[in-house]
Amino acid sequence: MSVVIGLTGQSGAGKTLVSKIFEENGFGVINCDMAAREVTEAGSECNRELAKIFPECFDDDLVLDRRALGRIVFSDREKLDILNTVIFRYIDKLLDEKIAQYSIDYEYVVLDAPTLFEAGADKKCNVIVSVTADEEIRLKRITVRDGLDEASVRNRFASQHSQRFFEENSDFVIKNNGETEDAVEQTKEIIDKIKEGKIGSKNN
């Protein structure tokens, strides 16, 4: 079985960039956002279950309105927890299947997962890498990238773990406040350590 690296972090911190660097250096990358989309395809078993809880977010064909769901759960922590309880159950099984598939071709497999800890997927990982950045920097990045207003972005931040949480629960942390080149350099240093077997002990 491959060495599994959990890649997570704060919204707007730059995880997508880091994920791309891992991929360019020969790591197999599993996009857990795409896995979530797979389990919530129109008419899926997961959607049938979610439609009973969030009926306003589905049409008659059980197609999920992701924006409508996001507006609900990012402003209500209790409803977010309910959503996570349901959807992570389906994602967990799918990730096990994908890790086994990727392990055939890759020595190192990355779980690119914004909700790595919430899903319990950290338990599948040999090493965890988190990407963080200061809140105001992340706010600016997301408002530009997603076209959201400040209040919506801060609601999203409030539903996520703090920077301190990521620092305390990761083997490596990439602090991405500066130039892209700096994040690239930090990531490559971590890649070298992983390949040398210096992968930490959080989950071993």
Residue 202 predicted with pLDDT over 80? no
Domain ranges in the chain? 3-195
Q: How far apart are CA 88 and CA 134, in angstroms?
A: 28
**Hey, what CATH topology would domain 3-195 get?**
Rossmann fold (3.40.50)
Question: Could you read off the pLDDT of 98-144 as tens digits, one per residue?
Answer: 999 999 999 999 999 999 998 899 999 999 999 999 999 999 899 98
For residues 186-195, average pLDDT: 96
Which residues make up each annotated binding site for ATP? 12-17
Distances (CA, A) of 172 to 16, 178, 189, 193: 16, 18, 10, 10
Query: pTM (2 decimals)?
Result: 0.83
Q: Per-residue confidence at 171, pLDDT binned at 50, 70, 90?
A: very high
Q: Are 66 and 29 in contact (CB under 8 A)?
A: no
Which residues make up each annotated binding site? 12-17
Q: How far apart are CA 95 and CA 93, in angstroms?
A: 6
Question: Could you read off the pLDDT of 12-29 as tens digits, one per residue?
Answer: 999 999 999 999 999 999
Phi (first) and psi of residue 58, to 5 degrees: -135, 150
Q: Residue 20: what residue type?
A: K
Phi (first) and psi of residue 43, to 5 degrees: 80, 5
Q: How far apart are CA 60 and CA 43, in angstroms?
A: 9
Q: Residue 29: what residue type?
A: V
For residues 159-184, average pLDDT: 93
Strand partners, 7: 112, 129
Provide the token pair at 29.
């990358």
Residue 73 predicted with pLDDT over 70? yes
Residue 203 predicted with pLDDT over 50? no
Q: Are 79 and 95 in contact (CB under 8 A)?
A: no
Query: Quick one: which of 111, 117, 126 has its CA closest to 35?
Result: 111
Q: How far apart are CA 145 and CA 122, in angstroms?
A: 28
What are the DSSP calls for 20-66, one per residue? HHHHHTT-EEEEHHHHHHHHTSTT-HHHHHHHHH-GGGB-TT--B-H
Q: How far apart are CA 16 and CA 7, in angstroms?
A: 10
